[in-house]
Structure 1
Amino acid sequence: MTDTLFLTSADVDDLAEPADYVAAVRDGYRQVGEGAPAEPRTLLPSRDPAGMLTTYAAILPETGAMGGYTYSAGFGARDAWFMTPLFDADSGEPLALLDGASMNPFKTGAAGAVAVDALAREDATEIAVIGSGAQARGQLAATATVRAFESVRVFSPTAESREAFADAFDDRLDATVSAAESAGAAVDGADVIVTATTASDPVIDDADVAPGAHVTAMGQYDPDRNELPPELVARATYVPDIRERATQDAGSFLAARSAGLIGDDHVAADLGEVVAGRHPGRTSDGEVTVFDSGGTGIETVAAAHMLYERASEAGRGKTIE
């Protein structure tokens, strides 16, 4: 028998700012880039009733933690459930069980921000966001901590949603934030482009992505999810969160491969290798880079352990046997 801390979303949702998530997640990717183990997601579909159970895991030895995500989604209106078990990396004992719902946009946004910091041009000042949901908000909040953006343009198909997004961030960021009338108008001239959708077809055009731009695509976690045109993937330096994911469930990579534009060797590196300095990432100002974010245990364990430590110090949560 051992004591374990149970943490609800309410226990942890005010314990960290976006920059805190970015710092923790960056260190997690560095550890994986230096050899710590992390596995791509495993998705188990349920046909009757329709839904899915997803898991992924990582061990971060320097952090002293291991664990990951197990979550269910798609079974009905009460959707979804994010459970995060966290273990001690030395003893194997359970440290905590977290409801991961509130941290989900922030830890995923932090992975995108780490990629922008590693791959985007240092002088990037304009960012386009395609999508206006919780994940899009998490991506922008985190990414704004690694580059001094002067202009933010957001597009989503629903005018009310993109206007509300722009209004919220115009007050929050030291940048001009506006709603664009189309994806093309948002992307035009952007140094950084973030796609945060559930689209099955590309949401931006290859011709609209200027030389030197960086693209973070975070809706690529299934072969049928495909936010980016094949031509863009083919001309870009392509970096996924975990290398093995590219041929497993990265929809745009698989679409470009099916079109005969790339082979399996098109993966330049994974994000950990770039953060750890084992791959240069961007090598010129005119290069287009793509970060493919499907979600991993790396950002999950890094963020969960940070929240666990802060919750413990603050006396939050409930101890269970």
Structure 2
Amino acid sequence: MKIRILSAEDVRRALPMSEAIEAMRSAFGQLSANQADLPLRTRLQTDKGLLLFMPAFLRQSREIGFKMVSLWGDNPAKGLPAVIALATVIDPDTGEPKALLNGEMLTAIRTGAGGGLAADLLARPDASIAAVFGAGVQARAQLEAACAVRPIKE
């Protein structure tokens, strides 16, 4: 078994926002057509933190994956992030893991792409002004996505 490992920068390079928006269009379309299996998020509380597991299967495009997120509140005191995420891509024919991806970057891109898709579907074609509340990773991803679908000038 050969597994690719993608760092945050690898994920950023491999998944431009415009492609992420189209992937979200496909995923939401499959969800709407009842072609997606998204079990409820599983939670595992430990004495140190919380683990979240989120699997998904898109039947039409035959894509399987899951994300694991750990929320460890004491990590910053140890020089570690409080939130750590890992995404795994699974081969739909064999069940083998094919790739491990930095989940924090993937989540930022995916969440931004959802907002970009909404802007593409709902905003006027000539919309050129965007408002973003916040200044963190998600704010940057939302602005990048808006700029990918509209001629944002301010």
With the shorter chain as reference, the TM-score category is 0.7 to 0.9
Counterpart mapping for 1:148-297 below 5 A = 148-149=151-152, 175-176=153-154
Q: How many angstroms does 1:114 deviate by?
A: 1.1
Unaligned ranges ≥5, structure 2: none
Q: How many angstroms does 1:10 deviate by?
A: 3.8
Counterpart mapping for 1:14-33 below 5 A = 14-33=13-32
Counterpart mapping for 1:34-113 below 5 A = 34-39=33-38, 42=41, 44=43, 46=45, 48-49=47-48, 51-75=49-73, 76-77=75-76, 78-79=80-81, 80-113=83-116
Cα gap change, 1:6/1:16 in structure 2, threshold over 3 Å: closer, same or farther? closer
Cα gap change, 1:145/1:13 in structure 2, threshold over 3 Å: closer, same or farther? closer
Segments of 4+ moved more than 6 angstroms: none
Relative to the length of structure 2, the TM-score reads 0.81
Q: Distance in 1 between matches of 2:42 and 2:118?
A: 24
Q: Work out whether residues 44 and 51 of structure 2, in 8 Å CA contact, stay in contact via their aligned partners in 1.
A: yes
Deviations 1:42-79 (A, max 9, x none): 26364743x32222222123433211211102332112
Corresponding residue of 1:156: none
Q: Which residue of the other structure, out of 129, 135, 139, is the alignment partner of 1:136?
A: 139
Query: Partner amino acid for 1:131?
Result: G
Identity %: 31
Query: Partner amino acid for 2:118?
Result: A
Q: Distance in 2 between matches of 1:63 and 1:139?
A: 26
The Cα RMSD (Å) is: 2.3
Aligned to 2:105, the other structure's residue is in SS state: coil
Aligned to 1:129, the other structure's residue is in SS state: coil
Q: Distance in 2 between matches of 1:87 and 1:60?
A: 12
Q: Distance in 1 between matches of 2:99 and 2:93?
A: 15
Unaligned ranges ≥5, structure 1: 150-174, 177-321
Cα gap change, 1:94/1:119 in structure 2, threshold over 3 Å: closer, same or farther? same
Query: Partner amino acid for 2:61?
Result: T
Q: How many angstroms does 1:123 deviate by?
A: 4.2
Cα gap change, 1:120/1:88 in structure 2, threshold over 3 Å: closer, same or farther? same
Q: How many angstroms does 1:17 deviate by?
A: 2.2
Deviations 1:71-108 (A, max 9, x none): 10233211222111111223323221222222321121
Relative to the length of structure 1, the TM-score reads 0.42
Q: How many angstroms does 1:136 deviate by?
A: 0.6
